Structure 1
Amino acid sequence: MTKCNYYKSVLGANPRNVTTNLKNHVLHYCKRIKLANSRQSTIAKHTRSDADAFVFDPSYTRRCIAKAICIHEYPLSFVKHVGIKEVYASIQPIFKVPSRNTIKKEIFEIYELEKLNMTKLMDENDSRVAVKTDMWTFNQEKGYLIVKAHYIDSS
């Protein structure tokens, strides 16, 4: 048997329906329930109006694909894989799958933006910067170069 702490009403005696009855009471009837802790948050229920307000942006999707290719070191041909094309079509049928050249262009745009952000960050920095490089090969197939910069910022 479950009782509401605010209204002291019995929500159900059948043990099989306790969760359903409690959920329905909290969501639909009990307006006095407050969050016990102000740091907690609730997940808003998605309504039909939320879905209607969504606008698909193919340029944002292309940028996300380019970032994924960079992060996971996928080949540029990743966009032409049959399985990935099916994923794109299932999410947004009107999305035109980008070519390798389009993704390559997108990657260079991301690089230029990140380069600009890094330059701005370094210009605003008052301390010195120590730069470290390291090179190695993995299974004698891929060569890697890493550049690390160490600095102390104002915070």
Structure 2
Amino acid sequence: EVIPSKRKLTSKVWLEMKKMRINGEWKAKCNWCHKVLTVGSRNGTKHLRLHLDICTLKKLKTKGGKTLSQSSLKVCAEEDGKVSMESYTFDQDYARVELGNMLVLHDYPLSMVDHVGFRRFVAALQPLFKLHTRNTIRGDIVGRYKMERKKAIEYMSMIQSRVAVTTDMWTSDSQKKGYMAITTHFIDESLRLRNILMRYMFIYVPAPHNAPI
């Protein structure tokens, strides 16, 4: 339940924040970054002014009209030890995709995006990057998987060789749960052996999985 305040607010911070009642408690929501801060008679508005002083989005939008895709300089190290500078534009969507790829590649738990230490680390590297919840990241990963699976099926429908289907068992390091993977194997047009992971099936199977089934 979110109820806006009807009381007349005199502090200048309320020109850039909105006071509202959330679950029975008064909160202040920043108009720039939408961060929610605690409001109360004991707290005053000093901490709200401090937030506005360091609000990254406020600084970006009030200095030259810059946005989340602002251009900056990127430092690149060459193989011979030389350092070069090139223009760089932060892309929120690309960074979000790469976050999902990292979680899948290294089998990291989705809850990692909720960890305070990880959020502080990301903010230190790129304050513009908006970290979403684990459910949003899960949706991104599932959506990407469905898209890649569709492309793989379309590709295999055009090949001339036979396709062998195998299954394999493995256990997630983070969840300690058993999975069965279905993989296709075939010879492509360049006579190279290819394999494509088609599906994961979640099943409860005691580890280890090195014994005959």
Normalising by structure 1, what TM-score? 0.62
| Residue matched to 1:142 | 177
Instruction: For residues 19-62 of structure 1, give each alpha carbon's deviation from its aligned partner in whole angstroms, at most 9, with x where no partner exists.
Output: xxxxxxxxxxxxxxxxxxxxxx8676412xx1xx2111111111
Amino acid at match of 1:87: F
The answer to whether structure 1 residue 76 and structure 2 residue 122 are counterparts is no
- Segment of structure 1 superposing worse, 115-124 or 59-68: 115-124
Structure 1 residue 90 displacement after superposition: 1.1
| Residue matched to 1:152 | 187
Report the CA distance shift for 1:153/1:89 in structure 2 as closer, same or farther (over 3 A): same
SS of equivalent residue, structure 1 residue 77:
helix
Report the CA distance shift for 1:61/1:131 in structure 2 as closer, same or farther (over 3 A): same
Pairing of 1:39-78 with structure 2 (within 5 A): 45-47=83-85, 50=86, 53-78=87-112
Structure 2: stretches of 5+ with no match in the other structure:
1-78, 191-213
Q: Which has the higher strand share?
A: 2
Amino acid at match of 1:154: E
| Residue matched to 2:50 | none
C-alpha distance in 2 between matches for 1:70 and 1:57: 20
Structure 1 residue 135 displacement after superposition: 3.2
CA contact (8 A) 2:107 2:172 kept: no
Structure 1: which 4+ aligned runs deviate by more than 4 Å? 41-44, 136-139
C-alpha distance in 2 between matches for 1:120 and 1:57: 30
C-alpha distance in 2 between matches for 1:138 and 1:101: 19
Normalising by structure 2, what TM-score? 0.46
| Residue matched to 1:9 | none
Name the larger-Rg structure.
1
Report percent identity of matched pairs: 39
Report the CA distance shift for 1:150/1:77 in structure 2 as closer, same or farther (over 3 A): same
Q: CA RMSD in A?
A: 2.3
| Residue matched to 1:100 | 134
Instruction: For residues 89-147 of structure 1, give each alpha carbon's deviation from its aligned partner in whole angstroms, at most 9, with x where no partner exists.
Output: 011112211111210111012102211221122022111101011335579x4112122
2:160 corresponds, among 103, 114, 126, to 126
C-alpha distance in 2 between matches for 1:129 and 1:97: 41
Aligned length: 110
| Residue matched to 1:111 | 145
SS of equivalent residue, structure 2 residue 119:
helix
C-alpha distance in 2 between matches for 1:138 and 1:109: 21
